[in-house]
Amino acid sequence: MNNNDLSYVKWFRNAAPYINAHRGKTVVLMFGGEAVTHPNFANIIHDIALMRSLGMRLVVVHGARPQIEDRMARRNIERIIENNIRVTDAETLVAVKDATGSMRLHIEALLTMGLANSPMHGSQIRVSTGNFVIAKPMGVRDGIDYKYTGKVRRIDAEGIQQQLEFGSIVLLSPIGYSPTGEVFNLALEDVATQTAIALQADKLITFTEDEGLTDGDNNLIRSCSVRTVKTLLDENDCHVRQLLLRAIISCGENGVERCHCVSYQSDTALLQELFTRDGAGTLIAKDHKEQICTATIDDVGGILELIAPLEKEGILVKRSRELLEVEIHRFTVLKKEDVIIACAALYPYEEALAGEIACVAIHPEYRSGNRGERLMGELELRAKSKGLTSLFVLTTVSGHWFMEQGFVEQPLDKLPEGKKQMYNFQRKSQVLMKEI
């Protein structure tokens, strides 16, 4: 077996937990008309078909803004924009129908493609479209009649769920229908957001020209909370970008656990984001009422109270108040209404590019759910920000839990030299390590 084969097998094994975790999940994918015209779009479609073949329940929502503009230019239809919203008169509506209809057919054809030389040969992916989006007119605002420009009134979640149960990919256009038989031009972001919320989707995946969301210095943000996206919204004056950020915020505030932002220009971004540890774009997690933060001197008492029972049982090494006060900046805590319900510490060994996870404790009443996983995820992010490439933990009773988080048992000589010299042979702690 050559090196390429070995690399592929290693990647596949590493991807297996993500494949298993995503199976059966409901995912809404949102991309604008700009993505459809990009040369990489065919690769995105193949990846979407691959996601479906791996057991994901997919709803694809496409936009058509540049295609509508093109149709209007060909027909010499005047473009009327008020408050960054297109006014859709009868003539414009014809262009909207033409553009969205053509787009829908184009995407359906790509998803159906099963030629022998195509990536999804023989996959027989079913695509379902229909009147799943019920709309209402935007009406008259500040004296401006937006005519056939509308908003989502309701999503036929039951109808979409039925198609997902049949194994179909549901394809939605930025078009809605009223109970009176009228057709309305809708915003892509409105359709995608309301669909994700109505389905209580596990993920919303958005495609942009950039790698993902960026900070004020134009650096890619790998992971953040909805609160961070709100600050980005305040700092951004691009209308299309604001629509994207508002869609992410709305989903995060209304039950969608994860949002992802990836580039439609990258051949690998979508699969990297879903099936690798580091991803390729930006992961946005919804805010929790329980907040994770760096511990302060005011938290010493709460941490001592939390860890005291575990120290008494010999599960944790005893720490004095004085030591904890000195090392408090090493601790990360999970708080619920200012009460500490979990904690953990990170001790870097920079010469070995490694970090020790220590003093992991969760209040007995809060051990259900994913609090431990959230805490570990935060420590991993902090370790990466310090340039560390691995984490290790010494434990006597919690080895299986850490193994579930991706840690692997290692011999004692794998520890950083500084930690190896401090190893307590009487405790006989298990050494577990994880690459990050």
Per residue in 127-182, pLDDT (tens digit) is: 999 999 999 999 898 889 999 999 999 999 999 999 999 999 999 999 999 988 89
- Of 262 and 9, more confident: 262
Under a CB-based contact definition with an 8 Å cutoff, are residues 371 and 341 in contact?
yes
Under a CB-based contact definition with an 8 Å cutoff, are residues 310 and 355 in contact?
no
- Name the fold adopted by 3-285: Carbamate kinase (3.40.1160)
Between 8-17, 145-154, 423-432, the lowest mean confidence (pLDDT) is in 8-17
Q: Which 3-state string (H, E, C) describes 36-57?
A: HHCCCHHHHHHHHHHHHHCCCE
φ, ψ of residue 269 in degrees (nearest 5): -60, -45
Q: What is the pLDDT confidence band of residue 242, given thresholds at 50, 70 and 90?
A: very high
Q: Which two tokens stand for residue 138?
A: 């935007």
- Of 15 and 136, more confident: 136
CA distances from 383 to 214, 354, 357, 391 (A): 21, 8, 10, 8
Which amino acid does the sequence have at 194?
Answer: Q
pTM here? 0.73
- Mean pLDDT, residues 223-230 taken together: 86
CA distances from 337 to 83, 176, 303, 341 (A): 40, 42, 15, 10
How much is the pLDDT for 137? 94
Q: Which residues of 353-387 are buried (b: 16+ CB within 10 A; e: fewer)?
A: ebbbbbbbbbbeeeeeeebbebbbebbbeebbeee
Confirm or reject CATH 2.40.30.10 for domain 291-435, answering yes or no.
Answer: no
Confidence check: pLDDT of 218 > 70: yes
DSSP state of 123: -
The per-residue pLDDT of the chain, averaged, comes to: 90
How much is the pLDDT for 367? 83
| Helix, coil or strand: residue 118 | coil
Confidence check: pLDDT of 187 > 90: yes
Q: What is the pLDDT confidence band of residue 425, given thresholds at 50, 70 and 90?
A: confident
- Mean pLDDT, residues 73-88 taken together: 92
- Mean pLDDT, residues 259-282 taken together: 90
How much is the pLDDT for 338? 79
Confidence check: pLDDT of 357 > 90: yes
Nearest to 245 by CA among 254, 427, 255, 235: 235
How much is the pLDDT for 115? 43
How much is the pLDDT for 330? 95
How much is the pLDDT for 428? 86
How much is the pLDDT for 116? 45
CA distances from 8 to 1, 186, 406, 434 (A): 11, 43, 20, 20
How much is the pLDDT for 119? 55
How much is the pLDDT for 261? 96
How much is the pLDDT for 35? 95
Cα separation, 181 vs 358, whole angstroms: 63
Q: Each residue of 286-320: pLDDT tens digit?
A: 766 678 889 999 999 999 999 999 988 888 888 99
How much is the pLDDT for 117? 55
Give the start-to-end residue ranges of the domains of the chain.
Answer: 3-285, 291-435
